[in-house]
Amino acid sequence: MGVWLEGRTLAEKIKEEVKEEVVHFRRTANEVPGLVGILVGENRSSQIYLRSKEKTSQALGIASQVLTLPAEIDSRTLKAQIEELNRREDVDGILVQLPLPSHLKAHDIICAISPGKDVDGFHPFNLGSLLANEEGLKPCTPMGIIELLKFNQIPLEGREVVVIGRSLIVGKPLAAMMTNENATVTICHSKTKSLAGVAERADILVAAMGKPAFVKPEFIKEGAVVIDVGINQLTDAAKARELFGEDEKREKDLADKGYTVVGDVDPRAIERAAGMTPVPGGVGLLTVAMLMKNTLVAFKRRRHLEP
């Protein structure tokens, strides 16, 4: 049986390092990084995510603000709001919480953000810099995964990595980061033939497709490292008992909230893996920590304090 690669220890370490630097800049320059999150509409999950990011920012001394805009806002008006934030000297980081209402094209909106303030790392300029293995703001979840592997002294060079999922938020940028670390990478998706067989080749398997417990233990090579990026709501109590056995916390979640959170990987895969990230308590914690780090990096680069 493998070990759980929890994310809290590393996330707290990263946040503490950010906080120390923020305190330093407040004392020496009377300046702190500024972060603005944009929420369009009233998506409940998006509200929770952004408030969590705002709370973390404030705890680290970063000046933060959530700009809430109506769901019916048109693209031109939203871009004008972003342009205003681009011009503000007290704003170092801008993020647009996804998903957006269906009448807005996420790519166009993200392109309106100044690349130097794109702390989510989704702007085409930053993604291009990533592909070129050049400096730039990188997507937070993939960056957190790389840091977690290094923190646990799991080598990447020469390893075979399989990523299930090809989104611009996780799958594609993570594949580029892994390649930059000299790993050999395969990206899988819904059209991949013999997916289980491809996954079983992996020394490091990353699941990021948004399907609860989709990756079964038989997908896992004995001794592989498994990174579970999925965050899914499971409402079936019988399925939860099948996956987790008698688990008081999950049973309470089901009773109180009507669901329990599960990843994309069947938790019983830990029996075959050398190490595996838990859900919750794994990659998700690092995503927010890396956002804070990106905000600090953007602050320093805008002031020519970092290349």
Which numeric CATH code is attached to 28-114?
3.40.50.10860
Cβ(268)–Cβ(217) below 8 Å: yes
d(CA 115, CA 78): 17
Q: With CA atoms as reference, report the closest residue to 39 among 62, 63, 73.
A: 73
The Cα-based distances of 290 to 12, 193, 211 in angstroms read 11, 34, 24
Q: State the pLDDT at residue 1.
A: 85
Q: Do strands 260-262 and 232-234 pair parallel, antiparallel, or not at all (unpaired)?
A: antiparallel
Low-confidence ranges of the chain (pLDDT < 50): none
Question: Which positions are annotated as active-site residues?
Answer: 53, 97, 120
Q: State the pLDDT at residue 111.
A: 98
Domains 28-114 and 140-285 share a fold: yes
The secondary element (H helix, E strand) that includes residue 233 is strand 232-234
d(CA 200, CA 224): 9
Residue with tokens 């300046």: 31
Other residues' Cβ atoms within 10 Å of the Cβ of residue 137: 27
Exposed (0-12), middle (13-18) or buried (19+): which is 76, by Cβ within 10 Å? exposed
What is the layout of strands, in order, in the sheet containing 3-4?
A: 3-4, 275-276, 225-228, 204-207, 160-164, 184-188
Decide which of 3.40.50.720, 3.90.209.20, 3.40.640.10, 1.10.3720.10 is the CATH code for 140-285: 3.40.50.720
3-state SS string over 95-114? EECCCCCCCCCHHHHHHCCC
Per-residue pLDDT tens digits for 28-83: 999 999 999 999 998 888 888 888 899 999 999 999 999 999 999 999 999 999 99
Exposed (0-12), middle (13-18) or buried (19+): which is 293, by Cβ within 10 Å? buried
Q: State the pLDDT at residue 260.
A: 95
| Domain coordinates in residue numbering, the chain | 28-114, 140-285
The Cα-based distances of 95 to 141, 145, 148, 218, 298 in angstroms read 14, 20, 23, 38, 12
